[in-house]
């Protein structure tokens, strides 16, 4: 297996087709394809192999040494074979790699969220530039705002503090 294959977010679902290292811009570009054979419709969960078309997504990934990393991800659109499903065509999902419509990989987003939660917008932006992420403060704050709220825990025991205007009366 080629060395750059180990850098991919998922070796099980992605195959490295080619790579390009640009020393002038410090950019590493990895051209990868999805290799999952069967995918499920996101609406009805019916599995299908019937390909409609292919297209390319550009995703920012974690930087490698001093190189920024971009994934050119070739993904497919599939027909849903369930005749009663409202979704006729859908794009394959790669939850181990990225979210639908996202412009960065999940692991890169997780890194930015960790920076944003620790430092906030302005300081997080300064650190992200120092680490080679080149991310704006508004992006960090947007990613934090997208996080789900923590679950509300119902207390099992309630304590009530004693209160009295006069001593020995409660």
For the CB of residue 54, give the shortest distance to Zn ion in the complex, in Å: 19
For the CB of residue 49, give the shortest distance to Zn ion in the complex, in Å: 14
Instruction: State both tokens at 125.
Output: 């932006």
Q: State the residues that interact with Zn ion by CB under 5 A.
A: 41, 43-44, 80, 82, 85, 87
User: Residue 123, class by beta-carbon neighbours within 10 Å (0-12 exposed, 13-18 middle, 19+ buried)?
Assistant: middle
CB 16 within 8 A of CB 5: yes
Give 27 or 82: the residue with its C-beta nearer to Zn ion. Answer: 82
For the CB of residue 92, give the shortest distance to Zn ion in the complex, in Å: 13
CB 48 within 8 A of CB 40: yes
CA distances from 99 to 9, 17, 108, 127, 163 (A): 13, 22, 12, 25, 53
Give 39 or 139: the residue with its C-beta nearer to Zn ion. Answer: 39
Give 18 or 47: the residue with its C-beta nearer to Zn ion. Answer: 47
For the CB of residue 85, give the shortest distance to Zn ion in the complex, in Å: 3
For the CB of residue 44, give the shortest distance to Zn ion in the complex, in Å: 3
Give 86 or 166: the residue with its C-beta nearer to Zn ion. Answer: 86
Closest by alpha carbon to 64, among 144, 159, 131? 131
Give 23 or 50: the residue with its C-beta nearer to Zn ion. Answer: 50
């Amino acid at each position: 297996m080629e060395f750059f294959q180990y850098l991919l977010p998922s070796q099980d679902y992605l195959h490295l087709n080619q790579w390009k290292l640009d020393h002038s811009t410090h950019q590493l570009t990895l051209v990868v394809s999805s290799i999952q054979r069967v995918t499920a419709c996101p609406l009805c969960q019916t599995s299908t192999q019937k390909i409609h078309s292919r297209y390319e997504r550009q995703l920012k990934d974690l930087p490698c040494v001093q190189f920024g990393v971009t994934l050119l991800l070739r993904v497919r659109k599939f027909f849903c074979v369930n005749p009663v499903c409202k979704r006729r065509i859908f794009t394959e999902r790669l939850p181990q790699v990225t979210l639908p419509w996202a412009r960065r990989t999940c692991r890169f987003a997780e890194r930015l969220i960790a920076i944003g939660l620790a430092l906030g917008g302005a300081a997080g932006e300064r650190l992200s530039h120092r680490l080679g992420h080149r991310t704006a403060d508004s992006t960090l704050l947007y990613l934090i705002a997208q996080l789900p709220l923590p679950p509300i825990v119902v207390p099992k025991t309630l304590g009530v503090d004693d209160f009295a205007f006069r001593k020995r009366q409660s």
